[in-house]
Amino acid sequence: MMGFNFRSMRAIYQRELYRALRTAFQSILAPVLTTSLYFIVFGAAIGGRMPDLGGVDYGAFIVPGLLLLTLLSESTSNASFGIYMPRFTGTIYELLSAPIGVAETLVGFVGAAATKSLILAAIILATATLFVDYSIAHPVLAVFYIMLVAASFSLFGFILGIWADSFEKLGIIPQLILLPLTFLGGTFYSIDMLPDPWRAAALFNPIVYLVSGLRWTFYGSADVPIEISFGLTLGFLAICVAIITFIFRTGWRLRA
């Protein structure tokens, strides 16, 4: 038998996408509605009273940050639920007994989670045009970067879904760590606006580099060099892949 089971991977991928369609309100409509509210409040209502940032209108300035906010939370939660639910309901037995390795499992679960995030990103960008005027300076790089972030955080979510042994744990890291870091990572402001000790402290927040990277692809300027943002994101992705490979090799939290 070949080393990569394409049909198995496709089965997992299609099933995960089907699950998203089955819960379309929770998976698609809810995040789009939430992001639209951000655009209305911060972009259209408050944004009109804010000065331009780096020559970019405030409403347009927050588009990459809000996009990233959705990408991070949705990629993480989709992937974590995707693998946690089979563990919770016991259907994981079928995955573990199937002729599939880490590659098929990852492409299936993480690919589906990332695909959902990309669909959401496209809907959010389209929705944003209703509220603010924005442009994308480097569209190819922007798409690549969005895909990179979606894949990285889907991998991260997959690890969370294997680590968590309760619904409470499943929500702890996205809500208590990821969300605050994203809000403090320059989603709604440039870290240049912070006074000095806080500006230096902000550079320890990894989300700053993600927001900054995506903002660069939109407007050609950012708080940190684009090379550092790309490098750190790729590094994060590599670490997640290494952890998942370790999990599958040892069977940690999967096999008795």
Partner 1 sequence: MPLRKGIVFTAMEIRLCCCHERGMDDIILRLSGLTKTYPGGLTAMNNVDLTIRRGEIFALLGPNGAGKTTLIGAVCGLVTPTSGTIEVFGDNIRNNWRSARARIGLVPQELSTDMFEPVHRAVSYSRGLFGLAPDKARIEEVLRSLSLWDKRDEQIRALSGGMKRRVLIAKAMAHEPDLLFLDEPTAGVDVELRKDMWRLIGEMRERGTTIILTTHYIEEAEEMADRVGVIRKGKVLMVDDKNAMMQRLGTTEAVITLAVPLAQLPLALKDFPVTLENGGSKLCYRGGDGSGKGRAEVAGLTKALVRADIDYVGIEIRESSLEDIFVGLVENDAGEAA
Which positions lie near partner 1, rule CB under 8 A?
1, 3, 5, 7-8, 10-12, 14-15, 18, 22, 85, 89-91, 93-101, 251, 255-256
Biggest alpha carbon distance in the chain?
A: 64
Q: Are 233 and 240 in contact (CB under 8 A)?
A: no
Report the nearest approach of partner 1 to the CB of residue 1 (Å).
5
Residue 91 or 135 with smaller CB distance to partner 1? 91
Decide: helix, strand or coil at residue 56. Answer: strand
Q: How far apart are CA 220 and CA 205, in angstroms?
A: 21
Q: How far is the CB of 172 from partner 1 (least distance, A)?
A: 24
Residue 230: partners with Cβ closer than 8 Å, 6 or more residues away: 145, 148, 213
Tell me if 45 sits within 8 A of 135, measured CB to CB: no
- Residue 255: CB minimum distance to partner 1, A: 5
Report the nearest approach of partner 1 to the CB of residue 112 (Å). Answer: 13
Shortest Cβ distance from residue 25 to partner 1 (Å)?
Answer: 14
- Could you give the CA distance from residue 106 to residue 201 in angstroms, rounded to a whole number? 35
Nearer to partner 1, 95 or 173 (CB): 95
Q: Which is nearer to partner 1, 110 or 214 (CB)?
A: 110
Q: How far is CA 67 from CA 82, 102, 133, 203, 234, in A?
A: 22, 30, 15, 20, 19
Q: Which is nearer to partner 1, 95 or 214 (CB)?
A: 95
Which residue, 9 or 124, has its beta carbon nearer to partner 1?
Answer: 9
Helix (H) or strand (E) holding 226: helix 226-250
